[in-house]
């Protein structure tokens, strides 16, 4: 009591007290049972301390997920296809605005349930090493550098820039060496060499921790080199905390602690599993196995002081989020609920969808039908709206609102399928629709209606691809029919079911065909590449996907998306799915001929490159090298170009990638305009793991190649010296 008889505010409730002191004060008041409860995602309330229940589980992969109406942006792989860091930052900021608004609205309504908190389990920055992986759609693709750059922007946009308070907590996942097979993830041991670990699987995690200062990180289900990821001294202590200086908390994937004794069989009991996990540095469990912590302490497997270490990390995050402070002193608490699904965010979702679309093929119009407008070239696309009288829109993905959304999604207040977008763009034309077939079914009963729709039409837009039925997480129920589950991983790369036969049937009518793919991963459309004049990859484009597709088809938007993954010709070009060695995988190590290369994407205008220059001919360890190049729009219409910088070790002494991305910039150019793109190559980007497992800069000659992809580039060489 104070001298005037009023109870003193406990230190943990006083926003003027340093956070470290507040956290220690709170933990000192908790019982062992209460402590164990706070280390599970569904943390119960502690009424005597005035602590409400809190669920740590929230999702915002490409919009606030599973919490009602929210703006739904393109699935993560589509965001990666924009190659636009500034756009990614804007998208993440919009997501965090909606998340904060939803949280405080929920609190005002005494709603403390799952998916309404401030700790988000995004982004997924695993390397999409094999297109068969069902969750690759959640990632930023196959390249460590692109993944790192997009991941850093996403984390920063979520966590905000206030000097005192976090806006949200971001959680890069799944740490580490995790990309299928989905069916085996609970017992699988991913084996990765030190070289592949350091050069491929860890760089994006390192960047989001050391640069973006992510406050949380999620461990993977699998083992990595024999150690369960959520109880790995190598990953959680040696690398994450000792090397990278991580000060935040680690959360397990859901049920992963139980896997340690049930499926990995590393230990025999839940008490042992919880003890080794917490001692290794896994502070929070998604699940309920940590209930065994009380017995683990009593059995002497772990001491209470070690639990306190984890609790300090957890409550430090909650304090930094302002959860124990009056709302009026937390700036983010003042974000109004009206920002959710607002017009500005809807417009941003459309922009992101437009920027994500990749024009894979655009052949010269040889049909003589005059459909192609004069648009910087003579490709089949864009279609001239003024000359279209009848358009057929065909395929299982042509009018499916669900397929727009990907997984881990929110629910848009309104969404637009390709059919919706085309009909809105062509109010005076006859638009005929036929589904034709299902995504994966074997029935061709709908072919007759599709052929009838196509016959006599000026053009047929055939919307094929994949869905959450075909690719997704193990056991996934999102995005599939009620009572069904996703197939998880794919067994092959071809269009599933009878989709290709449908495409051939429509093509056989003689009506010109545009193929629009909606998918979360690469599809081997070899026949289409040989026969169909124009092919567009739209990913799972979010709520505005159909509008964006129509804008690209009719030239209202000039496409500039670029592939964040390699499109292979067949599964025969790939190593075994279970093999985590990078040899033979991704553009960095693949020696075959892809269908479409990483970084590929066409435009309705043309660009030329000139005046490639290096600031010096020698790069010393610990220094940087500036690379500049002039890019000119030589076509007749405005457009974006994605300038890409690749490096090659001309003569390395160890296994090195054939080339690797070292910089990129998306630039907008009016016809005739020239802009200089500037990149800084840091010596650390040239680090290699040598034969002794050391992370070093190897002296030697490197080649810098700059262009709109890996082909048709300008090159210049430079030398790297040790000091």
Mind telling me the catalytic residues? 253, 471
Whole-angstrom Cα distance, residue 205 to residue 209?
Answer: 6
Helices 418-425, 545-553: axis angle to 10 degrees equals 50
Token reading at 632: 């000119």
Give CA angle at 518 (517, 524), nearest 5°. Answer: 50
625-628 long-range CB contacts below 8 Å, 24 or more apart?
Answer: 625/680, 625/681, 625/718, 626/678, 626/679, 626/680, 626/681, 627/663, 627/678, 627/679, 627/680, 627/681, 627/704, 627/706, 627/716, 628/676, 628/677, 628/678, 628/679
Helix (H/G/I), strand (E/B), else coil: 614 = strand
The residue among 342, 479, 462, 481 whose CA lies nearest residue 399 is 462
Instruction: Give bridge partners of residue 226 from the DSSP assignment.
Output: none
Cα 565 versus chain centre, distance: 12
User: How many residues are given for the chain?
Assistant: 723
| Residues 615-636 as b or e (16 or more Cβ within 10 Å = b) | eeeebbbeeebebebebbbebe
Token reading at 437: 């077939």
Whole-angstrom Cα distance, residue 8 to residue 14?
Answer: 10
* End-to-end Cα separation, the chain, in angstroms: 65
Whole-angstrom Cα distance, residue 313 to residue 247?
Answer: 8
The residue among 539, 484, 595, 464 whose CA lies nearest residue 138 is 539
Whole-angstrom Cα distance, residue 383 to residue 457?
Answer: 13
Q: Are 419 and 431 in contact (CB under 8 A)?
A: yes
For the sheet with 227-228, list strands across it. Answer: 189-190, 223-224, 227-228
Q: Are 69 and 83 in contact (CB under 8 A)?
A: no
């Amino acid at each position: 009591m104070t001298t005037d008889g009023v109870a003193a505010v406990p230190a943990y409730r006083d926003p003027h007290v340093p956070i470290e002191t507040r956290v220690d004060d709170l933990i000192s008041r908790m019982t062992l049972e209460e402590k164990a409860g706070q280390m599970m995602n569904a943390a119960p309330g502690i009424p005597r301390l005035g602590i409400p229940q809190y669920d740590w589980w929230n999702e915002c992969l490409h919009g606030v997920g599973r919490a009602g109406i929210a703006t739904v942006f393109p699935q993560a792989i589509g965001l990666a296809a924009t190659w636009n860091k500034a756009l990614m930052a804007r998208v993440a900021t919009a997501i965090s605005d909606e998340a904060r608004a939803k949280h405080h609205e929920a609190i005002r309504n005494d709603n403390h349930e799952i998916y309404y908190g401030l700790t988000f389990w995004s982004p997924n920055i695993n390397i999409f090493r094999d297109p068969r992986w069902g969750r690759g759609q959640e990632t930023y693709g196959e390249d460590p550098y692109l993944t790192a750059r997009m991941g850093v922007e996403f984390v920063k946009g979520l966590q905000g820039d206030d000097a005192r308070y976090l806006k949200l907590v971001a959680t890069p996942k799944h740490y580490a060496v995790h990309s299928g097979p989905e069916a085996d993830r609970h017992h699988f041991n991913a084996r990765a060499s030190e070289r592949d670990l350091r050069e491929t699987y860890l760089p994006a995690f390192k960047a989001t921790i050391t640069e973006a200062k992510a406050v949380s990180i999620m461990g993977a289900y699998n083992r990595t080199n024999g150690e369960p990821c959520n109880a790995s001294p190598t990953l959680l202590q040696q690398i994450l905390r000792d090397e990278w200086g991580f000060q935040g908390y680690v959360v397990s994937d859901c049920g992963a602690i139980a896997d340690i004794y049930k499926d990995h069989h590393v230990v025999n009991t839940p008490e042992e599993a919880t003890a080794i996990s917490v001692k290794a540095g896994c502070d929070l469990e998604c699940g309920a196995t940590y209930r065994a912590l009380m017995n683990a302490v009593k059995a002497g497997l772990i001491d209470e002081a070690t639990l306190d270490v984890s609790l300090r990390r957890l409550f430090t995050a909650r304090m930094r989020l302002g959860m124990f402070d009056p709302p009026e002193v937390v700036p983010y608490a003042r974000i109004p609920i009206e920002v959710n699904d607002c017009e500005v965010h809807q417009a941003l979702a459309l922009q992101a969808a437009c920027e994500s679309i990749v024009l894979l093929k655009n052949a010269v119009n040889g049909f003589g039908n005059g459909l192609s407008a004069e648009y910087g070239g003579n490709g089949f696309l864009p279609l001239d709206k003024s000359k279209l009288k009848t358009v057929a829109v065909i395929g299982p993905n042509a009018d499916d609102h669900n397929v727009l959304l990907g997984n881990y999604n929110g629910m848009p207040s309104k969404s637009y399928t390709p059919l919706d977008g085309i009909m809105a763009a062509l109010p005076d034309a006859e638009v005929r629709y036929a589904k034709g077939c299902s995504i994966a079914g074997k029935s061709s009963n709908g072919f007759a209606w599709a052929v009838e729709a196509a016959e006599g039409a000026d053009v047929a837009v055939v919307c094929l691809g994949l869905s959450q039925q075909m690719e997704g997480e193990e056991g996934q129920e999102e995005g599939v029919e009620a009572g069904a589950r996703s197939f998880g991983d794919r067994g092959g790369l071809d269009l599933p079911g009878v989709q290709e036969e449908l495409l051939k049937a429509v093509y056989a009518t003689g009506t010109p065909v545009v193929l629009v793919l909606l998918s979360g991963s690469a599809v081997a459309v070899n026949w289409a590449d040989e026969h169909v004049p124009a092919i567009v990859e739209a990913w799972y484009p979010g709520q505005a996907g159909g509008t964006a597709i129509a804008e690209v088809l009719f030239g209202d938007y000039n496409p500039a998306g670029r592939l964040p993954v390699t499109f292979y010709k067949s599964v025969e070009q790939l190593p075994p799915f279970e093999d985590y060695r990078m040899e033979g995988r991704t553009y960095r190590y693949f020696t075959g001929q892809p269908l479409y290369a990483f970084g590929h994407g066409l435009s309705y205008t043309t660009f030329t490159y000139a005046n490639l220059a290096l600031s010096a001919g020698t790069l010393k360890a610990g220094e940087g090298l500036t690379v500049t190049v002039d890019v000119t729009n030589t076509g007749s219409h405005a457009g974006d170009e994605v300038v890409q910088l690749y490096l090659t070790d001309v003569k390395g002494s160890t296994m090195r990638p054939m080339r690797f991305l070292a910089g990129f910039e998306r630039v907008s150019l009016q016809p005739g305009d020239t802009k200089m793109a500037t990149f800084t190559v840091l010596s650390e980007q040239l680090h290699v793991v040598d034969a002794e497992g050391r992370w070093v800069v190897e002296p030697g000659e490197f080649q810098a190649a700059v262009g709109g992809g890996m082909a048709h580039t300008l090159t210049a060489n430079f030398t790297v010296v040790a000091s």
